[in-house]
Structure 1
Amino acid sequence: MGGGRQPFHRSPSLRRTYREQGDNQLPVTRNDVAAAAGVSPSVVSYVLNGGPRPVSVAARQRVLDAVSLLGYRPNGLARSLKTGQTNTLGLILPDASNPFFAELARGIEDRAYEAGKSVLVCNSADDTVRERFYLETLVEKRVDGIILVSASWDEDLSDVLSRKVPVVTMDRYRAESQVSTVLFDNEHAGYEVTRHLLGHGHRRLALISGPRTAPVSSERLEGCRQAMGPGAEALLVVHDTAFSLAGGYRAAESLLSGTDTPTAIVCSSDVQAIGASAALRNHGMRIPEDVALGSIDGTALAEYSSPSLTAVAQPIARMADLAVQSVLGREAKAHHTLKGMLLIGKSCGCQPGPRPTHVPSSV
């Protein structure tokens, strides 16, 4: 090759140096890659960063081969200090074991991956102190943005925002928030599932609500009452019930211990409905013949439960897409409120047809 640099495949001593040092090997640098590939360090940067200058096909391949051979890994910390980005988003959930939040997290991770970002998932366990700890931790880790499903209606985010970290709140926040929001129309969901059960002729309805402090609980209750109309006072309500299997089970036990057993139960979440159905079966009651069930969330759990649940499904994929777009600054601050779709299962007494592959939404 004359007096120029030799490509790495003609430098066996160089290959041995990096392959045989084992645990004592010094970190491979960009200069090492450049020497192995027979190019300048700047060309290595152009290849790995996609520019700003073009690189010939041959040189690009030599750089990639050298990176693979030497096991080169760019210094992410140094790069983030230079660019001001870590290519990481933070996601704070109240309970990732809840199928709805698990599906939401998956949707957010998928959208973030498409944007070249990884996601750090934190569980607040519906604890505001723990949530604040995670907010501080994510800010310290210099994440590029935070998606928050808050344990509080009005978490103070001024300190986070003062440090220039974009925040998007989901599911549980005021529409007039100081940050972008992606919300679900909970009143509409409560109204739709209640109206459907009323259409089956039920008049003694009960609602298994969520925690009294959660905004979604009061909003879904209001939707149920709107559907009941003048008969809303007949709606039996179980408050302060966790969005969990155990919460649904205990709430159904409470309803069944009363003197006026409902003929239909609206559950504020799919997991509550599954817990309630277990309690009903333990009491020898059939679903939907003795007690019909309807729920809100429309997760895969609803479709594959026995019987399948009639549920208002949240448009999870669209919600995740909007959240990631917003936190990455691809649109100005905005407040989105999406409606769900009633998916028919067998728990209400209907014979369901094919379920859609996705849930359409309106904003």
Structure 2
Amino acid sequence: MAERAGRAPTLADVARVAGTSTAVVSYVMNNGPRPVAAKTRERVLAAAAELDYRPNLIARALRSRTTGVVGLILPEASNPYFGALARHVEQALDTRGKLTLIGNAGYSPERQEHLVDKFLAAQVDGLIIVSADGGTQVTRAGVPAVYVHNRPVDGQAPVVAAVNEAAVQEAITHLHGHGHTRIAFLSGPCDAGPVGERHAAWAALAGTAAPLLRCAYYRAAAAALTGQLIGEGAMPAALITATDEQAIGVLAGARAHGLAVPERLAVISLDGTPDSAFTAPALTVTQQPLEVMAAQAVDLLLDGETAVLSAPAPLIVRASCGCDPAA
């Protein structure tokens, strides 16, 4: 049954076609607050499909004082790690009937502050802030927030993170098994958030003779640093990188300067993004449980719990450390 051109079908139209009340149609479209019999629900959904009915989100927001939208702030959207995490967050929110609004902070605390203000002005129902270097406290606005990776210094918001200390220990132990005793660590420009935890764990386990290296979280920066170290004769024989982006850059820099991996340089990364399986050689990684972390963050946000949740990051053995995955 087609509606007149130029007029969008309404709740009343669906009710008329389904042979029920507008209240029942509303219960079906909003999954509550009252239950609807299965056969009646099927009639309502069939009528809505026939009319190509779409709920008016603005009207719904005015009635319920909720928008059905959750803001997700990423440190750097171009980083495959955060892109994969965003995909899992979006999927988890969708199963809970929420729409995801994504903002990219570009590793800028000022940009992150700006995004928080923008999302609050848009009256989002909540915020998930994936912060690599601290974060803005938003409880002053009365909007629930969950942080992934790092809790803001001045706040008590729920946080979800991987167990970085155990991941670093497993990586170091694995490299020890290959005979490496001097294991370098490639950190970021600063030591906040999960990278700081990984650095601290490495420093406690690797010994004072192990070199600490730093560069930005970009492939080009890591490739340039690798070339510089090779040119200076200072490239370590074993290296743990804080992120996959850095590890991929290290592999590119080593290849460009004729340094064989893993024969002359063993590499383990602490991220485990999908890209890590397709490098040459494939990266050995401690795989951050992104799907689990995303589900935990969404549950904390929507169920109103206050907690600090952590998830293990298992070692995925490939070729870059010196192992033969086919063996």
TM-score after normalising by structure 2: 0.90
Is 1:225 equivalent to 2:203 in the alignment? yes
The equivalent residue for 2:322 is 349
Alpha-carbon deviations, 1:279-327, whole Å to 9, x = none?
A: 1111111111111111111122222211111111111121111101001
Give the Cα–Cα distance (whole angstroms) in 1 for the partners of residues 325 and 44 of structure 2.
Answer: 57
Give the Cα–Cα distance (whole angstroms) in 2 for the partners of residues 180 and 141 of structure 1.
Answer: 22
For these two proteins, the number of residue pairs brought into alignment is 326
SS in 2 for 1:113: helix
What one-letter code is carried by the residue in structure 2 that aligns with 1:236?
P
Q: 1:235 to 1:74 in 2, by over 3 A?
A: same
What one-letter code is carried by the residue in structure 2 that aligns with 1:96?
A
Q: 1:54 to 1:287 in 2, by over 3 A?
A: closer
Q: 1:162 aligns with which of 106, 118, 140?
A: 140
Give the Cα–Cα distance (whole angstroms) in 2 for the partners of residues 65 and 225 of structure 1.
Answer: 62
Q: 1:306 aligns with which of 270, 280, 287?
A: 280
The equivalent residue for 1:361 is none
The equivalent residue for 1:77 is 58
SS in 2 for 1:328: helix
Alpha-carbon deviations, 1:180-205, whole Å to 9, x = none?
A: 00122323323321232122112343
Q: Could you tell me whether the CA contact under 8 Å between 1:189 and 1:223 is conserved in 2?
A: no
How many angstroms does 1:207 deviate by? 1.8
The equivalent residue for 2:179 is 201
What one-letter code is carried by the residue in structure 2 that aligns with 1:235?
A
SS in 2 for 1:146: strand
The equivalent residue for 1:325 is 299
Q: Which moved more, 1:167-176 or 1:105-114?
A: 167-176
What one-letter code is carried by the residue in structure 2 that aligns with 1:274?
I
Q: Whose Rg is larger?
A: 1
SS in 1 for 2:270: strand
Q: 2:157 aligns with which of 167, 179, 196?
A: 179
Q: 1:138 to 1:321 in 2, by over 3 A?
A: same
SS in 2 for 1:265: strand
Q: 1:284 to 1:143 in 2, by over 3 A?
A: same
Q: 1:329 to 1:50 in 2, by over 3 A?
A: closer
SS in 2 for 1:220: helix
SS in 2 for 1:208: strand
SS in 2 for 1:168: strand
The equivalent residue for 1:6 is none
Q: Could you tell me whether the CA contact under 8 Å between 1:47 and 1:55 is conserved in 2?
A: no
Give the Cα–Cα distance (whole angstroms) in 2 for the partners of residues 223 and 43 of structure 1.
Answer: 57
Give the Cα–Cα distance (whole angstroms) in 1 for the partners of residues 42 and 297 of structure 2.
Answer: 37
Q: Which moved more, 1:297-306 or 1:276-285?
A: 297-306
The equivalent residue for 1:360 is none
What one-letter code is carried by the residue in structure 2 that aligns with 1:206?
A
The equivalent residue for 2:211 is 236
Q: Could you tell me whether the CA contact under 8 Å between 1:127 and 1:151 is conserved in 2?
A: no
Q: Which moved more, 1:40-49 or 1:125-134?
A: 40-49
SS in 1 for 2:325: coil
Q: Could you tell me whether the CA contact under 8 Å between 2:268 and 2:320 is conserved in 1?
A: yes
How many angstroms does 1:333 deviate by? 0.3
Q: Could you tell me whether the CA contact under 8 Å between 1:280 and 1:286 is conserved in 2?
A: yes
TM-score after normalising by structure 1: 0.81
Q: 1:338 to 1:41 in 2, by over 3 A?
A: closer
Give the Cα–Cα distance (whole angstroms) in 2 for the partners of residues 54 and 216 of structure 1.
Answer: 46
What one-letter code is carried by the residue in structure 2 that aligns with 1:293?
V
Give the Cα–Cα distance (whole angstroms) in 1 for the partners of residues 224 and 208 of structure 2.
Answer: 23
How many angstroms does 1:39 deviate by? 4.2
Alpha-carbon deviations, 1:66-91, whole Å to 9, x = none?
A: 43343332221111121122222111
SS in 2 for 1:234: coil
Q: Could you tell me whether the CA contact under 8 Å between 1:170 and 1:183 is conserved in 2?
A: yes
Give the Cα–Cα distance (whole angstroms) in 2 for the partners of residues 106 and 194 of structure 1.
Answer: 30
Calculate percent identity across the aligned residue pairs: 36
What one-letter code is carried by the residue in structure 1 that aligns with 2:64?
T
Mark the runs of 5 or more structure 2 residues left unpaired by the alignment: none
SS in 1 for 2:232: coil
How many angstroms does 1:275 deviate by? 0.7
Task: Please tell me the root mean square deviation across aligned C-alpha atoms, in Å.
Answer: 2.5
Q: Could you tell me whether the CA contact under 8 Å between 1:94 and 1:125 is conserved in 2?
A: yes
Q: Could you tell me whether the CA contact under 8 Å between 1:183 and 1:336 is conserved in 2?
A: yes
Alpha-carbon deviations, 1:194-229, whole Å to 9, x = none?
A: 23212211234322111215333332222222222x
The equivalent residue for 1:114 is 95
Mark the runs of 5 or more structure 1 residues left unpaired by the alignment: 1-8, 10-14, 355-363
Give the Cα–Cα distance (whole angstroms) in 2 for the partners of residues 282 and 344 of structure 1.
Answer: 24
Q: 1:292 to 1:42 in 2, by over 3 A?
A: closer
Q: 2:224 aligns with which of 247, 250, 255?
A: 250
